[in-house]
Amino acid sequence: MTSSLHDSAVLLRSLHVPGRPLILPNAWDVATARLAEDAGASAIATTSAGAAWALGAADGDRLDRDRALDLVARIAAAVEVPVTADIESGYADEPDGVGETVRGVLAAGAVGINLEDARYDGDAPLRAPAEQAERIAAARAAADAAGVPLYLNARIDTYLRQVGDPATRLRDTLDRAAVYLAAGADGVFVPGTLDPEVLSALVAGVDAPLNVLVGPGAPAVPALAALGVARVSAGSSIAVAAYALAARSARELLTDGTTTSLTGDLGYADLNALLARP
């Protein structure tokens, strides 16, 4: 099992190539993971928001560790490609707890994580860099002890949460990236900006693969690749679109009695066959 995880982790690392990015249409259950794999995804990434919603919780550290890891295990067992898990801020208050979460991620069969510096307890929008570095170091130590080169993607939420003075936000992001990489991160994820100048500066200033978040209205992947981006994630946007369809179709059926919203190119038999696969 450890050998298999090691090989999968090495493969996941190799997929992060600046200018030829790893494209991740994030999944939140076995069906969406298999759909992404069937569409040609080289790896599967979970979305914490989609997973939380599917399990009846809100996003933002509201889902408990056990349920989150159970879902990761189900997804990892269902696909052939490497799986990387969005574990929010680690499902733990202290660094040791983050290490415990990482051990659970590996036991679930995933070989990568996203670990964010946002916090949701009201004290501040982000953890202090030194505090987050301790959490990253604990995650790295847990993976190293297991003999698995886990891909640790350090998410920096300066842009997503619009923290601090816009004039110094880039500098703060680069400073945080340097601290997180020194603590053991392998890549840096900066959601919340797709400004070409900012992305170019991040690619130039971060000594690691850069991950960006896309959704409706985002530049096409080739444009991001030309800037040197190494990973492109859909995040929660596919889940949001799927739930939007559920809402529209429910309203249409209840108010108009019609089902035109449900017209699509994926049929019952196709989806059922995908899930019937061993």
For residue range 10-34, list pLDDT tens digits in order.
999 999 999 999 999 999 999 999 9
Output 118 or 264, whichever has higher pLDDT: 118
pTM for the complete prediction?
Answer: 0.96
- Mean pLDDT, rounded, for 253-263: 96
Percent of the chain with pLDDT over 90: 96
User: For 106-161, what is each residue's pLDDT tens digit?
Assistant: 999 999 999 999 999 888 999 999 999 999 999 999 999 999 999 999 999 999 99
Secondary structure percentages of the chain, helix, strand, coil, to 5? 50, 10, 40
Query: In the predicted model, what is the mean pLDDT of the chain?
Result: 97
- For the chain, the C-alpha Rg in angstroms (whole number) is 19
What whole-number distance in Å separates Cα of residue 193 and Cα of residue 219?
11
Q: What does the longest C-alpha to C-alpha distance in the chain come to? A: 59
Instruction: Write the DSSP assignment of 100-119 as a string of letters.
Output: HHHHHHHHHT--EEEEE-B-
Contact (Cβ atoms closer than 8 angstroms) between residue 81 and residue 43: yes
For the stretch 190-209, pLDDT in tens is 999 999 999 999 999 999 99
pLDDT value of residue 264: 85
Is the pLDDT score of 1 beyond 90?
no
Q: What are the CA-CA distances from residue 255 to residues 245, 246, 248, 259 (Å)?
A: 15, 14, 10, 11
pLDDT band with cut points at 50, 70 and 90 for residue 2: low
Per-residue pLDDT averaged across 30-58, rounded? 98
Where does the pLDDT of residue 278 fall: very low under 50, low under 70, confident under 90, or very high at 90 and above? confident
With cut-offs at 50, 70 and 90, classify the pLDDT of residue 277. Answer: confident
